[in-house]
Structure 1
Amino acid sequence: MTGTVLFSNIPKSYFKITNYMLDLVRASLCFLELDLNVIGDLKGFITEPCMKSVSVIDIISETVTAEKLSIFFNNIENPVKNVHIHSKVEGQVATSMNIFQTEILVFYETSWITREHLLGFNGNILCFKKPHFDIELVIEFIKQWRNGNNTEFIALLMTRITDVQDITSDLSEGFDFERDDGLLATILVGPPDLFQFFVWHKRFTVVEYN
């Protein structure tokens, strides 16, 4: 179920109306868009039953503290698969935070992102909208993958984010290289504002026509 989620900070009310609505239609809550700054009791929010089914979270706060992010994500009972953070984050964000192990992690405001955040990512797909870091850091990230043994990583995308589910739509013009263990990767730079680094966990096949 997607749509408006009704949440109240009135003591003990929380998601009660939402839970009731979900029960009426025998549905579960999969997608959640929220501003962490309007929630007074984050820990109470997290323990709501309907949170157990949420797999996609969009944080839309204009600015949020690292402490609030940590309280929210590090205390969610079920791991969230897809996280989009539109916010500028104030304070030091530890790379041990759960978001850095998610399947898909997208940052739309990147002025607070550090070298440690990029190199410490242990999820599958990492996306940045208008990154502020230098290309040397991207090269370091690729070297880390090439010299390491990470078999979970799938892709690094920067700037032009559209559909992260369709990142292999056109990598035919990219540069391919192999890691020592045989994993094939492709780097595609598309001026003026597109960069993709993709790891092929399943080799593509080339069909030859006579």
Structure 2
Amino acid sequence: HKEYDNFLPETSIHTAGTDSSQCESCGAVEKIHISMISKRCYQIVKGLRIPYLTSLEMHVSKESTCVKLKSGKDSLGVRAGSYYLMDLFKLEMREGWLHADQVSFARRPYFYPFKKLRDIWITGEQPMDHDDFKYFVENTVASYNLSIKLPFDPKFKFDTFKNDSDYLVIKKDAHWITSKMFHSFDNAYLQLFGCKMTVVDCQLFISRWFHSNNTRKRFNQYIDCTDGFDIIRSDGLLATILIGPFWFVFHVWHDRFPDLAGHTKYL
């Protein structure tokens, strides 16, 4: 028995003339509504090939204009609706967006029933409740990308924070990232704004990489390294260090001489 079986509403609409050709030209939202007319319509929509749909995203915010669920138990409705759409389009729920300013504390767990998503974005102009933020990142894991764009209270601390995603970005305020956390990260790409790293922290970070065989750090973003300082590791891997008044960049060259044909815009 699947919970989304009860998600299909009873209806008296006549559907004898409905076929796949009529549904193919409809948008994704229209296809969802058509699938809810009857179980026959559900099977028709499920059998369609929709090349422009590659994954599903869950946005947790104050308002929604696509699909709204009405249930006596919110968590049951979200779970039933999520699995209904995943089964309908034969796709996984890969991305989650939490618009923190628009969602009350009482809405957690935000991405129920998903404990793990590929990408998670948390945005807001106001700090989240400390316990609420901690609960969220400890109970919902981003396997590939975790991007946090939130301000934090100056007294905020999170000594147990751990992250194993490939990409970790903390914009606006990363003052709560301690030296111990910084040196425990093993991300392919790490970007921290407003963190309180010392000169010793940066030296240790470089030294750890220099005396290791770690090839994990990768990110394809243009950075002008003309004024940087180069170091070469024992395995021949080259890295460039850039230091400015308010920033520190450590760039590893996995491909020193890439083929730039068709990519060079300026000479």
TM-score over 0.5 (shorter chain): yes
1:202 matched residue in structure 2: 255
Q: Return the alpha-carbon distance in structure 2 between the equivalents of residues 193 and 149 of structure 1.
A: 29
Deviation at 1:116, TM superposition (A): 0.6
Is the aligned partner of 1:180 residue 2:180?
no
Q: Return the alpha-carbon distance in structure 2 between the equivalents of residues 37 and 150 of structure 1.
A: 42
Q: Return the alpha-carbon distance in structure 2 between the equivalents of residues 91 and 106 of structure 1.
A: 18
1:113 matched residue in structure 2: 177
Q: What secondary structure does 1:59 align onto? A: strand
2:192 matched residue in structure 1: 128
Q: Return the alpha-carbon distance in structure 2 between the equivalents of residues 33 and 124 of structure 1.
A: 22
**In terms of Rg, which structure is larger?**
2
Structure 2: give runs of 5+ residues left out of the alignment.
1-55, 261-267
Q: Return the alpha-carbon distance in structure 1 between the equivalents of residues 160 and 199 of structure 2.
A: 22
Q: What secondary structure does 2:187 align onto? A: coil
Alignment of 1:55-134 (within 5 A): 55-60=118-123, 62-65=127-130, 68-69=133-134, 71-76=135-140, 79-87=142-150, 88=152, 90-94=156-160, 97=162, 99=163, 101-108=164-171, 109-134=173-198
Is the aligned partner of 1:30 residue 2:97?
no
Deviation at 1:83, TM superposition (A): 0.5
Tell me the matched-pair count.
187
Deviation at 1:3, TM superposition (A): 7.4
Contact residue 187 and residue 217 of structure 2 kept, 8 A: yes
Q: Return the alpha-carbon distance in structure 2 between the equivalents of residues 39 and 198 of structure 1.
A: 42
Deviation at 1:37, TM superposition (A): 6.0
Deviation at 1:187, TM superposition (A): 1.1
The 1:29–1:85 alpha-carbon spacing in structure 2 relative to 1, beyond 3 Å, is: same
Q: What secondary structure does 1:186 align onto? A: strand
CA-to-aligned-CA distance 1:17-70 (integer Å, 9 cap, x gap): 45545666665443322138635543x84434xx76x3221123623536853x
Deviation at 1:171, TM superposition (A): 2.3
TM-score where L is the length of structure 1: 0.68
Match of 1:153 among 197, 207, 217: 217
Is the aligned partner of 1:167 residue 2:230?
no
Q: Return the alpha-carbon distance in structure 2 between the equivalents of residues 177 and 203 of structure 1.
A: 13
CA-to-aligned-CA distance 1:103-147 (integer Å, 9 cap, x gap): 110112112110011111112111011323323322221122212
The 1:37–1:112 alpha-carbon spacing in structure 2 relative to 1, beyond 3 Å, is: farther
Letter in 1 for 2:212: G
Contact residue 240 and residue 251 of structure 2 kept, 8 A: yes
CA-to-aligned-CA distance 1:160-199 (integer Å, 9 cap, x gap): xxxxx5434432332211112222111123x454432111
Cα RMSD over matched residues?
3.6
Q: Return the alpha-carbon distance in structure 2 between the equivalents of residues 86 and 120 of structure 1.
A: 21
Letter in 1 for 2:113: T
Q: Return the alpha-carbon distance in structure 1 between the equivalents of residues 123 and 259 of structure 2.
A: 42
Q: Return the alpha-carbon distance in structure 2 between the equivalents of residues 66 and 93 of structure 1.
A: 13
Contact residue 46 and residue 75 of structure 1 kept, 8 A: no
1:159 matched residue in structure 2: none
